[in-house]
Structures are given as structure tokens and as C-alpha cells.
Amino acid sequence: MVTITETPFDPWQTISQYQEQMQCDGEFGACATFVGTMRDMNEGDEVNGMLLEHYPGMTEKHLESIVANAEEKWGLLDTLVVHRVGELFPNDPIVLVAVWSAHRKDSFEACRFIMEDLKSKAPFWKKESLSEAEQQAGKNRWVENNTSGY
């Protein structure tokens, strides 16, 4: 399942609730997850807030195609992707990827694959507010590139 949300979410509660309604009890031996969280520093600067923009429609389609690719490439039982958009603050969870499979190799590899594809291709854009003064003056900065995760 892929969800884009403007509402802050608790990643552990979200996984827990999702897992409870899954239909593969007893089948999954492995669950690999990744949670990306907003830090209060980036490139040496203090960051007070962030605006996360996306391309409604294309973003969902792209994430669903990433998940479909992963499910085809590995033997997965279920996959959950949640991504926050809108206004975020330090310590807010940004993204959650959880992958369930029978054996650990598949969920480990699929979870990392989904995150890397999401970071490099899913249409999201981050704009950072570096200080409250700058924020009020509208002097924010777009993050220009994601670093590689491999």
C-alpha cells in the first residue's frame, strides 16, 4: 500500500496497525523497514522547518510502480510505503518503507531498493527553512540533490 499524507504519522504504530490487518500471518518470517526522519541540521546549517512538495498523481503512480517492480523482483508478501508532504518540523518522520517476506534476504534487498528508487526518482521536493528570521523573510532554500544511498 502506498500513502501520501499531510498529517504527521507515528511510523511504528502505522506498521503495527498495517501488520495486524495483513492476511499472511504465519507466512512472513522477515520484515525489513526503513524510517526517514527530519534532522535539525543539513549541510552544516540549522534547519527549523521544511516544506515538502509533490506532484499529485504522478507521485502516487511512481511509488506504486516502484512497489510493483520490487514485488516482481523479490518474493514479497506485503509492502507499505508512507510519505509525508506539506509542512514538517525536525524529528518528524518523513518516509516509511516496510517489506514483509518469507526470508530475510528478500525483505532486506527490496526495502533498500524501494528507498533508493524513491529518493532518486519519486517526484518530491524539499525546501528548508534555515532560521526563523529567514523563514519570516521567505528566504528558504530548495534542497538540490539527494545523496546516494549505496
Can you give the binding site for its own copies, defined by CB under 8 A?
10, 12-13, 15-16, 19, 25-41, 90-91, 102-105, 107-108, 111-112, 115, 119, 147-150
Residue 77: which residues within 8 A CB-CB, separation 6 or more? 22, 24, 27, 28, 100, 101, 102
CB of 56 to its own copies, least distance (A): 25
Question: Does residue number 148 form part of the binding site for another protein (CB under 8 A)?
Answer: no
Dist. CA 11–CA 69, nearest whole Å: 23
* CA–CA gap between residue 87 and residue 125 (Å, rounded): 12
Say whether 147 sits in a helix, a strand or coil.
coil
- Sign of the Cα torsion 134, 136, 139, 140 reads positive
Rounded to an integer, what is the distance from CA 37 to the centroid of its chain? 9
Q: Cell triple for residue 84? A: 509525508
Tell me: does residue 38 bind another protein (CB under 8 A): no
Q: Does 122 bind another protein (CB under 8 A)?
A: yes
Contact in structure between 45 and 127 (CB atoms under 8 Å): no
- Report the nearest approach of its own copies to the CB of residue 42 (Å): 9
- Give the distance from CA 120 to its chain's centroid: 12
The yes or no reply on residue 134 touching another protein (CB under 8 A) is no
Q: Which range of residues in 20-28, 47-55, 68-76, 105-113 is near another protein by CB under 8 A?
A: 47-55
Q: State yes or no: residue 58 binds another protein (CB under 8 A).
A: yes
Candidates 10-18, 51-59, 68-76, 105-113: pick the segment binding another protein (CB under 8 A): 51-59
Beta carbon of residue 34, minimum distance to its own copies (angstroms, whole number): 5
User: Which residues make up the interface to another protein (CB under 8 A)?
Assistant: 36, 52-55, 57-58, 61-62, 83, 94-95, 104, 115, 118-127, 142-146
